[in-house]
């Protein structure tokens, strides 16, 4: 479903990163009405079991749960897709050959090599309407395999990455891009590299997203054609609110 949602017209989907395993936090974020979340196993200490619980809770709250996997490994992404994740974000996809080899693992044969796990949650524990064929169809057509573009090399090979089989969407990571380019985050060269990557994806007809800070950036990236945008994360919202609350109390 998320793949179709990304391809359908409309204002950008708004999501946030999830780094905390607490289901209370998931209910708070879910109640706020986000369209999707990215459960972050690359930069947060979430266990496979944590991710599973979060995927279940967010699904029940009608917030599409995507999972950012830790690297390019099969075992990692496969388990989250079998848990019913709406998609996976693959960090640091550097070039077209790597994009094809990585995404192939998450496509069923003949397009790829993903294994049959019909007895898992994505197959409704073996009782999905439509049976194994429907489990395979949703795995191919509904979940989104998202390549993260966050290195100078990736921006240089952006057209190849976007054309690689199994790349359903692209997500531009300005943070790592700035490190890879050796320039400060938020500086003009990073901004331009993000813009160029977005433009390439729009030209190729591949749904694209990025991280935005503030309303002005959000409006700009939406106008450039981003289909999904990430604002902040659960830890940042909590720490920001804690600091603001204390500052207000000290000023009173």
Residues forming contacts to ligand 3PY in the complex (CB under 6 A) are 150, 173-176, 211
Give dist(CA 193, CA 56) in Å, integer. 36
Burial class (CB in 10 A: 0-12, 13-18, 19+), 202: middle
Q: How far is the CB of 42 from ligand 3PY (least distance, A)?
A: 7
Which CB, 12 or 174, lies closer to ligand 3PY? Answer: 174
Check if the beta carbon of residue 87 is closer than 8 Å to that of residue 66: yes
The runs of H, that is alpha helices, within the chain are 2-7, 23-32, 48-60, 74-82, 96-104, 131-141, 152-156, 158-163, 174-181, 188-204, 214-224, 234-251
- Per-residue contact string for residues 160-179; x = within reach of Mg ion by CB under 5 A: -------------x--x---
Which CB, 82 or 151, lies closer to ligand 3PY? Answer: 151
Q: How far is the CB of 179 from ligand 3PY (least distance, A)?
A: 8
Query: Active-site residue among 43, 72, 92, 191?
Result: 43
Q: How far is the CB of 92 from Mg ion (least distance, A)?
A: 7
Q: Which does 136 bind (CB under 5 to 8 A by kind): ligand 3PY, Mg ion, none?
A: none
Q: Report 90-119 residues binding Mg ion (CB under 5 A).
A: none
Q: Which does 40 bind (CB under 5 to 8 A by kind): ligand 3PY, Mg ion, none?
A: none
Q: Which does 174 bind (CB under 5 to 8 A by kind): Mg ion, ligand 3PY, none?
A: ligand 3PY
Which CB, 138 or 197, lies closer to ligand 3PY? Answer: 197
Which CB, 62 or 213, lies closer to Mg ion? Answer: 213
Q: How far is the CB of 100 from Mg ion (least distance, A)?
A: 21
Which CB, 63 or 231, lies closer to ligand 3PY? Answer: 231
Distance, C-alpha 178 to centroid of its chain: 19
Neighbours of 137 (CB within 10 A): 12
Any catalytic annotation for residue 72? Answer: no
150 binds Mg ion (CB under 5 A): yes
C-beta pairs of 82-85 under 8 Å, 24+ apart in sequence: 82/117, 82/120, 82/121, 82/122, 82/123, 83/51, 83/52, 83/55, 83/56, 83/120, 83/121, 83/122, 84/55, 84/56, 84/59, 84/121, 84/122, 85/39, 85/51, 85/55, 85/143
Using CB under 5 A as the criterion, which residues of the chain lie in contact with Mg ion when the complex forms? 150, 173, 176
Query: Active-site residues: which are they?
Result: 43
């Amino acid at each position: 479903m998320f793949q179709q949602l990304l391809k359908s017209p409309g204002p950008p989907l708004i999501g946030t990163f999830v780094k905390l395993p607490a289901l209370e936090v998931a209910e708070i974020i879910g109640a706020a009405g986000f369209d999707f979340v990215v459960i972050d196993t690359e930069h947060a200490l979430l266990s496979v079991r944590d991710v599973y619980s979060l995927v279940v809770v967010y699904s029940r709250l009608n917030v599409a749960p995507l999972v950012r996997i830790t690297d390019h490994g099969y075992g990692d992404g496969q388990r989250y897709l079998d848990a019913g994740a709406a998609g996976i974000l693959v960090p640091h996809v550097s070039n077209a050959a790597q994009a094809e080899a990585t995404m192939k693992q998450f496509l069923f044969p003949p397009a790829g090599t993903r294994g049959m796990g019909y007895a898992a949650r994505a197959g409704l524990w073996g009782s999905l309407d439509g049976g194994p064929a429907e489990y395979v169809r949703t795995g191919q057509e509904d979940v989104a395999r998202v390549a993260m573009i966050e290195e100078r090399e990736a921006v240089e090979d952006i057209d190849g990455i976007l054309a690689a089989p199994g790349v359903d969407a692209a997500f531009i990571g300005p943070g790592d891009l700035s490190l890879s380019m050796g320039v400060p985050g938020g500086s003009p060269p990073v901004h331009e590299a993000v813009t160029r990557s977005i433009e390439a994806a729009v030209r190729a007809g591949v749904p694209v997203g990025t991280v935005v800070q503030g309303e002005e950036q959000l409006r700009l990236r939406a106008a450039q054609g981003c289909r999904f945008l990430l604002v902040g994360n659960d830890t940042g919202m909590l720490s920001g609110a804690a600091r603001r609350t204390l500052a207000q109390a000290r000023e009173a």
